[in-house]
Structure 1
Amino acid sequence: MSSPSVKDLLLSFSRFRAGINLGWVIGPIIGGLLYYYLGWNFILLLGSLGNLISIPIVYKLDNRKSVNNVVNRKYFIKPSKYLMEIILVQFIFAFVASQILFGFTVYSTNILKIPSLLIGYFISLNSLLSALFQEPIGRYMIKLNLKYMYILGSFVFSMSYLSIFYLGNIIGLTLFIIFISLGEIILNPIILSISYIVSYKYHSKEIGMAMGFTRMAEGLGRAFSTSVTAYLFSIHDYEVSFTLLSLIGIIGLIVNRVVYTSLEN
C-alpha cells in the first residue's frame, strides 16, 4: 500500500492541532494568575508533579510478546537519514516557536514593562487563533501549492520575531501575535503530515516509535530554546538575539530536502 500524500493528511492534522491549542488557551491564563498571586515556585512544583502522571502510562506502551509469551520491549530504532532530516525540522520549528513562551515574555516584561498577567492573555490569544482558524485554513491550503505555502509560512513565522522591536504598545504586540499564529497555522499541519509520511515510508513496522522520535525532537527543541535564549540574552542585547533566532528559523526550515520531496507527492 502506497504512503498517503501531505494533502491527504493535512486536514486531519489541522484538526489535531486545533484540539491541542484549546488546552493552550486556558493554560497561560491560569499560569499568569498563579504567577501573579503565588509566584514561580508553585508553578514549577505543579508542572513537575503533572509530568509524573505520564510515567505509568508510558511504561505500559509497546509491550510485545515473543513466541514464549515473554515481554520484549523495543526501546530504540535506527533512524533513516530521511527521518533524521524531519527530526531536525521539528527541532528547529519548536526551537523558534518557544520564543513566544520565553523570549517574548522576558522581553515584554523587562523592556516593555508589560504586566505578566497580560502576557498570559497574549499567549492565550496565540492559542485561541490557532484553535479557531487551524481547521478552516487547513481546508483552504489543500487547494494551494503547499511548497509555496511552506516557504511563506517559514518566512512569516521566523521574521515576525524581528518585528517585536518596532512594536512597543498593546496594538503592536497583538499584531505580532497574529502573524506568529498565522505562521504556526501554516507550518504545523505540513510538518506533522511529512513526519507521518516519512515514518510510514521508511519505518512502517515501527511507525509509532518513529513518530515518537519526531515528537521527542519537538520537546528537545523547546528545552534547548529556553537555555540558548537565556544565554544569548545574558551576553548580547535583545536585538542580536532575536535576529539570530529568526535566521536560524528561516534557514533551518526552508533549506531541507525531505520537506520538498514529500510535498511533491
Structure 2
Amino acid sequence: MDHINKVALIGGFRAFSGSIIWPFIGFALYKVYGFPLTLVSLFYLVQGVISVIASISGGVITDYLGRKRSMTISISFSSLALLLAYVLNLPIYVMAFTLVQTFLNTVYNVSSTTIVGDLYKGTGDLVKAYSRQRVGINAGWALGPLIGGYVFNFYGFRVLLLVSSLVVLTIIPLVRLLPDFRGSSGLTDFKLSKEFITFLVPTFLTFVIVGQLGFPLLTYYNSVLHFTEFEVGALFTINGVLIVAMQDLIGKFIEGRLRLITLGAAMYGLAYLCVALVSDLLTAALDVVFITLAEMIVTPISQALASTLADPGSRGKQMGVYSMVTGLGRVAGSSISSELMSYYLYSPLDLWGVISLFGFSSALSYFLVLRRLKLR
C-alpha cells in the first residue's frame, strides 16, 4: 500500500471517531447539559485559545519527536480523554475533557498534514496527495455524523463519547507502518517567510466560514426549521460522501489551477448566504452540495500552498502555525455564529448574510495575495 493511502486510511478512522461527536459537542452542551448560548460561545473561544497553544506546541512536538510518534501519542491520549468524559459525565468534566481532546486533535492534525508535505514535493503533487488524504478523512466524516446523529437521537450524547474513545484506538497499528520524518531546525526556529505570513490572512477568513459546518448549521436547522439531529447528521454525511466520490477527480482538475481557490472561497460565501433561503430538507441537501464543492476546491489547494511555502527544516512548526490559523478560523466561526444567534437566530438573512461576508472577503484576499505570491 502506498504511504499516502496509509495516511488516508488512518485519517479515515481518525475522522470517523472524531465526527461521531464533533458536530454535536456544542449542541450537547446547549441542549443536554443546559449551557446558555453565550456560554457555548465562550466554550468555542476557549477552544480557540487551546488551538493556538496546541498548534504551536504540536509543530514543535512533530519536529522534535517525529511525525509517527506524535500521531501515536495524540491518538492514545485522545482516547483516554474521551473515556474519562464518558465515565465522569458531569457538565464541567465533559467540557474539560473535550477541550483536552481539542489539544490532542490539533497535534494529530499537524503531524498528519506535515507528513504529506514530507512525502511529496511541488504544488501539483501536493494538491493530489492532500486530495487523496481528504478522501480517507471524509470517508470517516461521511459515516461518523450519520451514526453519531442516530446514537445521539436514541441513546444520548454520553454513549457517543464511549464509542469515539474505542474507535480511535484501532488505527495505532497502521500508524506504526508509516516512515518517520523529523525537523532539522532548532526548537524555536520557525523561519516564517513574508509570503507564508501573507498567505495566512485569507486562510483565516476562509476557515471562519469553513467552521459553519457543525454547531452553527446544526443549531439553526434544529431550532428554526426543526430538523432532527439525525436529519442534520444525514446532511453532514452528504458532505462526506461527495468528497469521497469526487475529491480525487477534482484534485486532478485543480492541481495546476491554484488560483481557483478564489472561486472556491466565493462559492463558500454564496452557499452560506443561501442557507437563509432553505425551507426544507431537500433544499438544505442541495445547499450542502455547493458547500462541499467549495470545500473540495479550497482545502487541498490551501494545504498545498502552505506546505510549499514552508521551510523543509521546520515544516512541522510552520504547518503548526498554519494549523493554528485554520483552527482559530474554525473556532471563531462557531463562536461568532453562536453569538449572532443570540440576536438573529430567527432572522435568517441577517444571520447568514453576515456569515457569508467572510467567504467573499477571503475570495478577494486570495485574489490579491496570489497575484504577488512566488511559488517554488
Q: TM-score band (shorter)?
A: 0.7 to 0.9
Q: Pick the aligned partner of 2:258 from 146, 151, 155.
A: 146
Q: Give the conservation status (yes or no) of the 8 Å contact 1:195–1:214.
A: yes
Per-residue displacement from partner, 1:187-229 (whole Å, max 9, x unpaired)? 1111111001111xxx232012111221232222222222211
Q: Which residue of 2 aligns with 1:241?
A: 351
Q: Which residue of 2 aligns with 1:173?
A: 284
Aligned-partner Cα distance in 1 for 2:271–2:329: 19
Q: CA deviation at 1:112?
A: 0.9
Query: Which string of whole-angstrom CA distances, capped at 9 and with x for unpartnered residues, describes residues 220-240 of structure 1?
Result: 222222221101110233322
What amino acid sits opposite 2:124 in the alignment? K
Quote how far apart the aligned CAs of 1:156 are.
1.2
Q: Say whether 1:37 aligns with 2:154.
A: yes
Determine the C-alpha separation between the residues in 1 that align with 2:233 and 2:364: 30
Query: Does the 8 Å CA contact 1:36/1:116 hold for their aligned counterparts?
Result: yes
1:15 to 2:15 alignment: no
What does residue 228 of structure 1 align with? 336
SS at match of 1:113: coil
Cα-Cα RMSD: 3.3
> Residues 39-72 of structure 1, C-alpha deviation per residue, up to 9 Å, x if partnerless?
34554677699999xxxx9xxx99889xxxxxx9
Which of 213, 219, 229 is equivalent to 1:116? 229
Letter in 2 for 1:247: L
Q: Which of 247, 254, 262 is the aligned partner of 2:364?
A: 254
- Given candidates 185, 188, 205, the residue that maps to 2:313 is 205
Which one of the candidate residues 302, 305, 312 is aligned to 1:191? 302
Q: Distance in 1 between matches of 2:375 and 2:183?
A: 36
Compared CA separation, residues 196 and 63, structure 1 to 2 (3 A) = closer
The amino acid of 1:221's aligned partner reads: G
Structure 2 gap ranges (5+): 1-119, 170-174
Instruction: Describe the superposition over 1:60-101 as per-residue Cα deviations: whole angstroms up to 9, x where unpaired.
Output: x99889xxxxxx972563533332233333333222112121
Corresponding position of 1:68: none
CA deviations on 1:112-135 (whole Å, 9 max, x unpaired) are: 111110110110110110111010
Q: Equivalent residue for 2:48?
A: none
Q: Which has the larger displacement, 23-32 or 175-184?
A: 23-32
Q: 1:215 aligns with which of 323, 327, 337?
A: 323
Amino acid in the other structure paired with 1:206: S
Contact 2:251 2:300 in 1 (8 A): yes
Provide closer, same or farther for how the CA distance between residues 232 and 207 of structure 1 changes in structure 2, counting only shifts above 3 A.
same
Distance 1:170 1:85, change over 3 A: same
Q: Is the counterpart of residue 130 in structure 1 residue 254 in structure 2?
A: no
Contact 1:156 1:180 in 2 (8 A): yes
Query: 2:268 & 2:298 partners in 1: Cα distance?
Result: 8
Q: When the two structures are superposed, what TM-score results if normalisation uses the length of structure 2?
A: 0.58
Over 3 Å counting, the alpha-carbon distance change for 1:166 and 1:94 in structure 2 is same
Letter in 2 for 1:193: A
Aligned-partner Cα distance in 2 for 1:94–1:64: 27
In the alignment, the residues of structure 2 paired with residue 34 and residue 75 of structure 1 have an alpha-carbon distance, to the nearest angstrom, of 44
Among all aligned residue pairs of Structure 1 and Structure 2, give the percentage whose two residues are the same amino acid.
26
**Gapped regions of structure 1 (runs ≥ 5):** 66-71
Name 2:200's counterpart in structure 1: 87
